[in-house]
Chain A
Amino acid sequence: MFHYTLRRLMFAVPTLFVISFIIFALLDLAPNDPTGNLPLTIPPEVREQIRMSLGLGEPFHIRYLKWLQQFFIAEPLNFIEQAFGIEIGNSAERVRIRSWATRSPVVDLIVERMPQTLWVVGMSYVVGILIALPVGIISAYRQYSWFDQIGTFVSMVGFSVPTFFTGVVLIVVFSVYLGWFPSIYDTTHRVTGWDSFWVQVRQMILPVMVLALYNAAQLSRFVRASMLDNLNQDYVRTARAKGMKERVVLLVHVLRNSLIPVVTVIALGIPTIFSGAIITEQIFRVNGLGQLLIIAIQGADIPLVQTLTFIFAVLIILCNLIADILYGILDPRIRYD
């Protein structure tokens, strides 16, 4: 298992290089321009100077190598310095990856956005799992019962109705008519006590519910299908024949085996938490990583888009690896050595 992990990690390095090159080339080829969103009152000559000051005058391969150098050397060094409060070499002269729109280091922007994305999108993932597990289990155990029918219907709706629709419907009902929850997420809010905690919960409810419905819809189908597969297995009959309680059969024998594929699905979904929920973040103005990415794309802020998408690529590869290893641990029949 250890060798397997090591081999996979070594394979990941060339894969990531290829990915970073493809992202960079695609962004370079895309017909987009960082001065495109400026008012037309800024004359064309000035736009050309702006492009030059952003380094667009240099050839493609130089810009790519510079980015590699900044991402793999300058940024990690800076991180180490910040984490341990030491200075390595001449840190004032070190060139960090800077966003073209904000002119600030890209990594700082990402770190600033992390909390709200993890809180809202991460929480919705957790809530989604907590809803999906019981719904999936009961639906499978009582297949074709009214509970199963309703569960199937709700998850179909949750899966097929887009979040930009459910989000706006929830705002109109709960913010405009009832006035219970705010429609705009306040990223400046700090939790200092019970009162402010309650404010935080209130402003999280709507976006978390929208995303949780979507996540739960997907996951509950997985749980149900996996449970159904196992319920008809011989070992279930054996367990019942031994005289075990139905609760034990279901929750110990069947559930544990059914969760093996579900756990991998959950692990594979973790990168999507970090990439944020672009649409939901926009609707509720959560302004997390998803919103950062979409603004960067619209404004042709290439360094920001490049860095963000590359970090997502790293997370996806890592989570794939974790899912594979977890599978091996959970199911001893599947070992890759």
Chain B
Amino acid sequence: MKKLTTFLTGTAAAIAMTAGAAQAERGSDGHLNILYWQAVSILNPFLSGGTKDVEGSSLIIEPLAKFNEKGEMVPALVDEIPTVENGGVSEDLKSVTWVLSEGLMWSDGTPVTAEDVKFTAEYCMAEDGGCQQVANFTDVESVEAVDERTVKVNFSIAKPYPYGPFVGAQSPIIQKAQFENCVGARAPECTDANFGPIGTGPFVVTRFAANDVIELEANPNYRDPAKPAFATVTLKGGGDAASAARAVMETGEFDYAWNLQVEPEILAQMEAAGRGELISSFGTSVERINLNMTDPSPEKGADRSTVEAGPHPFLSDPAVRRALSIALDRELIVEAGYGETGRPTCNILPAPEAYASKNVDWCLTQDIEEANRLLDEAGWMPGGDGIREKDGVRLSILYSTSTNSVRQATQALVKDMWQQIGVETELRNVDAAVFFGGDPASPDTFQKFYADVLMYTNNFDGTDPEKYMAEWLCDDAPKPQNGWLGANIPRFCSEEYDALVAKMGETAPLEERQALAIQMNDILTNEGAHLPLVHRGDVSAKSMTLNGVLMNSWDSELWNAADWTRAE
């Protein structure tokens, strides 16, 4: 019944959106309370790439185009998305031309021009600025303001997917007049601008208390005169996920709570109180176990976990990697730790739909017998204590991950499953700030990989997986020479794979790109570079009285806050 109601209200909202603009009125629905349990620190996403900061700022500043809840690109500050067909993207794929909508205004009443867009690129690409979103501007050679409303982005190479700059919440447009004196090393000094950017979004900051709360009011110059429906917004931060869920679903003090990574049964119990409901969506996040292809043993000294140390004593055996994979009951892992917000998967690239492979589902069903047979066949025989060994090498795994209750529960389950095939597992967990910190001096970072297997979640921004799939290039393995900065954590290396990555960089037609991505995904899973475990969804909670929310894993969750309304 609930699903039906949601569907009906959703349809009603959709109708209202298309036809009802005349009836609605800006600011007619009063106050909106949003709760982010990680408090927003700054409203300039170029200076902080934290998800909470990007999403908080998405109420105020906007990109040229956003991603909708299905992962499709939709125009925001432009009228149409440039493509090769409509001439917006040049034939040689080296430039893209965006045309701003007519009559766009900043919240201070001045017009938005191509100069602002050009300035935004300069701001992020400036030396010493420490711009955290500079990866979106990879290969950008220059940005030109052709006329008042037309801006052209030139790339140094052919870009089959030219939508890195100015698309999605990570790459919004900022006002030149406001940030002009804040370029490069001066960027952090402009506290007023960083705490209250002038934007084109539905709301304007009235007060910002860092790491605490943002107060906003409707933008008087928002492009749709009937929106937003809410006159004022409070975005409060702090606390923990469970109590944030309680504030929406049990006490009803808040209308929306973000990112509720809480044990599924606790959430279900809160939802039963009836004041709010859970909403979820699936993006590209995959919880995976990376297998170390190189030797992590401490005797290797500085070469530890690099190609120089040689192949891993037992994980380099394909039979072992496959056996470890099919020994896992992914269904059980999902049920125990993720509930509605997870699905078992064998793909490292599970979405968007068109990019998701259906060829590697062999790992979805647990098969202990087959795993044991594979290991027997490969010559790994159980020793006196039941642990398999060959030539003095024991199948004994050091299994590391970040500290998090769901991850530790998963570790315990996996340990038990591997026990059944004669594999011994030692568990370890490292504080997340250290594990993901990337400090080259620390031995516990995931890049160093001083363990046999590592578990964590990764994903990619937007919908194009080219950059993401390039993470498994041979050259991209972390090593002392590159300051342990590589993204190829499992140190996977295959010429065939590298060739496919290069090919994708030259291929423009969408269908071919999809086929290539699927091929790459299949290689990674079949070769056992890692064991994909769970396709993770995002879950948030919204009040029953809040309409128009479209949960989005491809952009900011608040991407369509302009369309949110209060139910009667």
Contacts and interface: CB of A to CB of B under 8 A. Distances in A.
Contacts of A37: 50, 432-433, 436
Contacts of B483: 44, 48
B454 to A, nearest CB: 12
A298 B433 contact: yes
Contacts of A52: 128, 130
A45 B485 contact: yes
A44 B438 contact: yes
A69 interface: no
Nearest to A175: B251
B211 A291 contact: yes
Contacts of B439: 31-33
Interface string A32-66: 11011111111111111110111000000000000
Contact of A188 (B44, B215, B438, B484): B215
B195 to A, nearest CB: 7
B50 A176 contact: no
Contact of B251 (A42, A46, A176, A282): A176
Contacts of B441: 31
Contacts of B487: 43-44
Interface residues of A, number: 54
Interface stretch (A97-105, A237-245, A249-257): A97-105
B47 interface: yes
Contact of A300 (B51, B133, B437): B437
A47 B434 contact: no
B191 A38 contact: no
Interface in B16-49: 35, 39, 41-42, 44, 47-49
Contact of B460 (A41, A112, A175, A186): A41
A99 B237 CA distance: 18
A155 interface: no
A38 B50 contact: yes
B210 A109 contact: yes
Given A182-B253, A287-B238, A39 B50 contact: yes
Nearest to B211: A295
A4 to B, nearest CB: 42
A54 B48 CA distance: 12
Contacts of A187: 209, 212-213
Interface string A149-165: 00000000000000000
B436 A36 contact: yes
B289 to A, nearest CB: 15
Given A39-B50, A295-B211, A33 B438 contact: yes
B459 A40 contact: yes
A202 to B, nearest CB: 12
A306 interface: no
B97 interface: no
B274 interface: no
A283 B241 CA distance: 11
Interface in B161-209: 185, 187-189, 191, 194-195, 207, 209
7 contacts: A35-B438, A38-B436, A40-B458, A44-B487, A48-B483, A175-B251, A182-B251
Interface of A: 31-33, 35-50, 52-54, 98-99, 101-105, 108-109, 112-113, 168, 171, 175-176, 179, 182-184, 186-188, 282-283, 285, 287, 291-292, 295, 298-300
Given A38-B132, A38-B436, A53-B188, 17 more contacts: A33-B436, A33-B437, A37-B50, A37-B436, A42-B49, A52-B130, A53-B129, A104-B210, A112-B212, A113-B212, A171-B246, A176-B246, A183-B253, A188-B215, A282-B238, A282-B240, A287-B237
